[in-house]
Structure 1
Amino acid sequence: MHERIAIIAITETGIALGHSLKSLLVADGFAGCGLFSSRAFEGVETIESVPAFVRQSFGSFDAFIFIGSLGICVRSIAPVLQSKHTDPAVINCDESGRFVQSVLSGHTGGANALAGRLARLLGAQAVLSTSSDVQGLWPLDILGREEGWSVEFASPVAGESMTTVMAVFVNHEPTTLLLDVRDSLTDQLERTAPPFVTIAYRFEDVDFSACRLLIAVTPRLIEVPVQTIFYRPKVLCVGVGSERGIDSERFVRSIMAELAAVRLSPRSIRSVGSVDFKMDEQAFIAFAEACGTTLTGFAPEQLESVGLVPNPSDVVFRKTGVHSVSEASAALLSGENWWLVEKQKVALAGIPEGQPRHYTFAVSLLRGAERRGRIAIVGAGPGDPELVTVKGRRYLEQADLILYAGSLVPEKLTHYARPGALVRSSASLSLEEQFALMEQFYRQGKFVVRLHTGDPSIYGAIMEQMAFFDAGGMEYEIVPGVSSFQAAAAVLQSQFTVPEKVQTIILTRGSGRTPVPDKERLSELARARATMCIYLSAEWSDEVQFELLEHYPPDTPVAVCYRLTWDDQQVWRGRLDGLSALVRQSGKTRTVLLVVGEVIGARGGRSKLYDPSFTHGFREGHGA
Structure 2
Amino acid sequence: MNKIAIIISSDQGVQIARTIRQELPEAELFATGKRESCTSVDSITAFVSEQFSRYDALIFVGALGICVRAIASSVQSKYTDPAVINVDSTGRHVISVLSGHIGGANQLTRRVANILGAEAVITTQSDNTGLWALDTLAREHRWHPETTVPMNAIITAFVNTRPTALLLDVKDEGTRYLERTAPEHVKIFYRFEDIDFQAVELLVAVTPYQHESPVQTLYYRPAVLHLGVGCRKNCDPTGVWESITRTLTAEKLSPHSLASVSTIDLKQDEPLVHDIARKAGIPLHVYTADDLKEIEVPNPSEKVTEVTSVPGVAEACALKSARNTRLLVEKQKQKLSDGNDFTFAVALDRTAERRGFIEIVGAGPGDPELISVKGKNFLEAADLILYAGSLVPVELTYYAKPNATVRSSASMTLEEQFSLMKEFYNKGLFIVRLHTGDPCIYGAIQEQMAFFDEYDMDYHITPGISSFLAAAAALQSQFTIPEKVQTIILTRGEGRTPMPEKEKLHLLARSQSTMCIFLSASIVDQVQDELLQHYPPTTPVAACYHLTWKDERIFRGQLQNLARIVKENNLTLTTMIVVGDAIDNRKGLSKLYSHKFKHLFRN
Deviation of 1:403 (Å): 1.0
Q: Residues 279 and 273 (structure 1 numbering): CA distance in 2 closer, same or farther, change over 3 Å? A: farther
What amino acid maps onto 2:81 in structure 1? P
Q: Residues 378 and 195 (structure 1 numbering): CA distance in 2 closer, same or farther, change over 3 Å? A: farther
What amino acid maps onto 2:361 in structure 1? V
Range 188-197 or range 449-458, more displaced: 188-197
The aligned runs of 1:598-613 (5 Å cut-off) are 606-609=586-589
Deviation of 1:412 (Å): 0.8
Distance 1:7 1:528 in 2: 54
Aligned match of 1:157: none
Deviation of 1:96 (Å): 4.0
The aligned runs of 1:14-33 (5 Å cut-off) are 28=26
Contact kept? 2:224, 2:349, Cα under 8 Å = yes
Contact kept? 2:518, 2:575, Cα under 8 Å = yes
Aligned match of 1:311: 299
Range 428-437 or range 482-491, more displaced: 482-491
Deviation of 1:565 (Å): 3.4
Residues 1:377 and 2:360 are matched in the alignment: yes
Aligned match of 1:618: 597
Equivalent position to 1:279, from 227, 252, 271? 271
Distance 2:197 2:444 in 1: 43
Q: Residues 302 and 578 (structure 1 numbering): CA distance in 2 closer, same or farther, change over 3 Å? A: closer
Report the structure number with the largest CA radius of gyration. Answer: 1
Q: Residues 617 and 445 (structure 1 numbering): CA distance in 2 closer, same or farther, change over 3 Å? A: farther
Equivalent position to 2:226, from 231, 237, 259? 237
The aligned runs of 1:16-165 (5 Å cut-off) are 28=26, 44=41, 69-71=63-65, 88-89=81-82, 91=84, 93=86, 96=89, 98=91, 101-108=95-102, 111-112=105-106, 127-145=121-139, 149-154=143-148, 162-165=151-154
The Cα offsets for residues 41-60 of structure 1, whole Å up to 9 and x where unpaired, read as x965879x879x96x99999
Aligned match of 1:593: 575
What amino acid maps onto 2:101 in structure 1? H
Equivalent position to 1:266, from 252, 255, 274? 255
Q: Residues 208 and 450 (structure 1 numbering): CA distance in 2 closer, same or farther, change over 3 Å? A: farther
The Cα offsets for residues 482-504 of structure 1, whole Å up to 9 and x where unpaired, read as 44455456556677778979987
Distance 1:164 1:536 in 2: 61
SS of residue in 2 equivalent to 1:141: helix
Distance 1:61 1:583 in 2: 64
SS of residue in 1 equivalent to 2:138: coil
Distance 2:52 2:555 in 1: 75
Contact kept? 1:306, 1:328, Cα under 8 Å = no
What amino acid maps onto 2:300 in structure 1? P
Q: Residues 326 and 95 (structure 1 numbering): CA distance in 2 closer, same or farther, change over 3 Å? A: same
Residues 1:293 and 2:273 are matched in the alignment: no
Aligned match of 2:332: 345
Q: Residues 299 and 269 (structure 1 numbering): CA distance in 2 closer, same or farther, change over 3 Å? A: closer
Paired-residue identity, %: 48
Distance 2:397 2:85 in 1: 48
Q: Residues 206 and 544 (structure 1 numbering): CA distance in 2 closer, same or farther, change over 3 Å? A: farther
Residues matched between the structures, number: 589
Deviation of 1:378 (Å): 2.7
Distance 1:551 1:320 in 2: 62
What amino acid maps onto 2:410 in structure 1? A
Range 272-281 or range 257-266, more displaced: 272-281
SS of residue in 2 equivalent to 1:145: helix
What amino acid maps onto 1:28 in structure 2? E
What amino acid maps onto 2:589 in structure 1? L
What amino acid maps onto 2:492 in structure 1? T
Contact kept? 2:32, 2:40, Cα under 8 Å = no
Equivalent position to 1:435, from 400, 415, 418? 418
Deviation of 1:432 (Å): 1.3
Aligned match of 1:508: 492
Deviation of 1:560 (Å): 6.4
Deviation of 1:377 (Å): 2.8
Deviation of 1:401 (Å): 2.3
Q: Residues 205 and 532 (structure 1 numbering): CA distance in 2 closer, same or farther, change over 3 Å? A: farther
Contact kept? 1:339, 1:363, Cα under 8 Å = no
Distance 1:575 1:417 in 2: 43
SS of residue in 1 equivalent to 2:136: coil
Distance 2:300 2:89 in 1: 70
Aligned match of 2:209: 220
Distance 1:407 1:493 in 2: 27
Contact kept? 2:84, 2:99, Cα under 8 Å = no
Q: Gaps (5+ residues) in structure 1?
A: 155-159
Deviation of 1:456 (Å): 2.9
The aligned runs of 1:533-544 (5 Å cut-off) are 536=519
The Cα offsets for residues 286-308 of structure 1, whole Å up to 9 and x where unpaired, read as x777x643796969979977844
